[in-house]
Amino acid sequence: MTDTSPNMQPEDTCCADLYQSPLVRYLLGESLHPGGLALTRALGKELGLTKGQYLLDVACGRGASAIMLAQTYKCRVAGIDTDARALEGATKDARRYRLDSLVAFVEGDATHLPFPPAVFDAVLCECATSLFSNRQAALGEIARVLKPSGRLALSDVTFRPETLPLPLDSSIARALCIPLGTGPEQYVHLIQGAGLTIEGKADYSNTVEKLLDKAESLLGIGRRTALATKANDQQLDQIAVALNCASELARQGDLGYWTFVAGKP
Ligand SMILES: C[S@@+](CC[C@H](N)C(=O)[O-])C[C@H]1O[C@@H](n2cnc3c(N)ncnc32)[C@H](O)[C@@H]1O
């Protein structure tokens, strides 16, 4: 699989403005992936994090995972993202939790990580690779900055169909980062292509249904949603149809969420 495939969504289909939009933040919360912090906690365990280790969170968004893992394991965490506004919020949160001595956020692109080789004990990358302009290059960068014997934990959306159904052509659907024609085997291929060894993979597709159910019920609150998100009725209707369509795809097994743990030899 190459990232020049016409099926890959271009970088700008899922932009920073989308994640900062009141509607997306209202529906998805601060932890911008299915499974939320509970799934991040499971990945932290798989990474075997310990006090003082160096962890990199690639595409850290609002920093919820980075902050929680620093708090839990007392490890040192660098979060990197292209979204300067998300990083501003993340930095404020780290300060609020008095974790700013352990956590730092840097603006940068996953395909050009601004770190020397072999400096991190572990790398986390949640729900983001489909947004990268070149996923193989980003995985190569992750492998480069990992120390030998270091580990990667990656979680991401799977979507088997090669085309997007019409109702899903909306901003909330784009926020779900749907990677056309991508099953778990493609992620395995990408990770192995970066020279990493797969140590485990797990199907967490049930978390997609839960996330969609939560978003659908929040949307059902109607007037309160409109007030909280400044969205109009037409936008809310469009999102409701998109969420319904996504739920159907998740029930059919076409839309899912998987985790992968890999080691650097
Ligand atoms: C769905 S959010 C996930 C955020 C976070 N990992 C989480 O799970 O809460 C995807 C994130 O990827 C970031 N992103 C997109 N393209 C990127 C790139 N090329 N390099 C770094 N971050 C990127 C976006 O700005 C956004 O914050």
Domains of the chain listed by start with CATH number: 11-263 (3.40.50.150)
pLDDT digit string, tens, across residues 78-116: 999 999 999 999 999 999 999 999 999 999 999 999 999
- Does any ligand 1 atom lie closer than 6 A to the CB of residue 132? yes
Q: Which atom of ligand 1 is nearest to the CA of 16?
A: 25
The answer to whether residue 3 scores a pLDDT higher than 50 is no
Average pLDDT, integer, range 154-177: 79
Structure tokens that stand for 258 in this block: 């998987």
Rounded CA separation 265/233 (Å)? 53
Rounded CA separation 258/237 (Å)? 29
Average pLDDT, integer, range 214-231: 67
Rounded CA separation 42/112 (Å)? 28
Q: What is the pLDDT of residue 30?
A: 66
Average pLDDT, integer, range 149-154: 98
Mutate to test the pocket of ligand 1, among 14, 18, 41, 139 (most ligand atoms within 8 A of CB): 14
Torsion of CA 14, 19, 24, 28, to 10 degrees: 100
Q: Lowest mean pLDDT of 79-83, 148-152, 188-192, 217-221, name the range.
A: 217-221
Task: Read off the pLDDT band of 231 (50, 70, 90).
Answer: low
Q: What is the pLDDT of residue 170?
A: 63
The answer to whether residue 4 scores a pLDDT higher than 70 is no
Average pLDDT, integer, range 181-199: 96
Position 117, amino acid: P
Task: Read off the pLDDT band of 19 (50, 70, 90).
Answer: low
Q: What is the pLDDT of residue 7?
A: 31
The answer to whether residue 246 scores a pLDDT higher than 90 is no
Mutate to test the pocket of ligand 1, among 88, 127, 129, 130 (most ligand atoms within 8 A of CB): 127
Q: What is the pLDDT of residue 33?
A: 86
Average pLDDT, integer, range 38-61: 97
Q: Lowest mean pLDDT of 11-20, 170-179, 206-215, 240-249, name the range.
A: 11-20
Residues 6+ apart with CB under 8 A from 89: 62, 63
Nearest alpha carbon to residue 44 among 190, 265, 53, 106: 53
Which residues face 103 on adjacent strands? 77
Q: What is the pLDDT of residue 6?
A: 27
Average pLDDT, integer, range 23-49: 85
Q: Lowest mean pLDDT of 95-104, 133-142, 245-254, name the range.
A: 245-254
Nearest alpha carbon to residue 99 among 75, 115, 118: 75
Mutate to test the pocket of ligand 1, among 18, 131, 133, 178 (most ligand atoms within 8 A of CB): 131
Give the mean pLDDT of the chain. 86
- Does any ligand 1 atom lie closer than 6 A to the CB of residue 64? yes
Exposed/middle/buried for 161, CB within 10 Å: 0-12, 13-18, 19+? middle
Task: Read off the pLDDT band of 172 (50, 70, 90).
Answer: low
Q: Which pTM does this prediction carry?
A: 0.88
- Per-residue burial over 82-92, b = 16 or more CB atoms within 10 Å of its CB, e = otherwise: bbeebbebbbe
In this structure, the strands spanning 120-126 and 146-159 are parallel
Task: Read off the pLDDT band of 54 (50, 70, 90).
Answer: very high
DSSP-derived 3-state class of residue 258: strand
Element (H, E) at 183: none
Alpha carbon nearest to ligand 1 atom 26, residue: 61
